[in-house]
Amino acid sequence: MMKVLWAPWRTEYVTSGSKKGHCIFCPDGDRSQDEKRLILFLGDRTIVLMNRFPYINGHLLIAPLRHVSSLDALLPEEKLELITTVEKSIGVLEEVMIPGGFNVGLNLGKVAGAGVEEHIHFHVVPRWSGDTNYMSVFAEVRVIPEHIQATYRKLLPFFKKF
């Protein structure tokens, strides 16, 4: 007998590809929407936001503010601020969430898994021993133990220190 695992929150993810003309990494002038957009930090050349569809709690996305699709398109000062922001973000996650390790990387091109291939961005994913389970393997469902807004409120004060 087929069992059904209802995951209505996935609807937002599977239908989000239809939003054309809006880049999640391009901030607009309305800073009052930062919490809704999960923006933790907006620097001179970089932005840090939480992944709305995370692999695990604390999954961050870090991008240059300038809309570019490759590393070689970045200016030297953008590269420096980008990697420095990745480093500082790891520090915040270490202090607040105390993970055992991290996956840090970027997906270049659609076939490499880039969901937003036209705006380069790093993924910073905190990891804990035993944080994966059978749900991802058998049911294609991720079990995230903390609500995303709770994680946002926990991290925001530390990113304000940047």
**What are the residue numbers of the active site?**
121
72: tokens are 């070689």
CB 116 within 8 A of CB 4: no
Eight-class DSSP state of 120: -
CB 56 within 8 A of CB 108: no
Q: Tell me the HSE value of 29 on the side-chain side, using a 13 A CA sphere.
A: 0
Backbone angles phi, psi at 55, to 5 degrees: -75, -30
CA 32/CA 67 separation, integer angstroms: 22
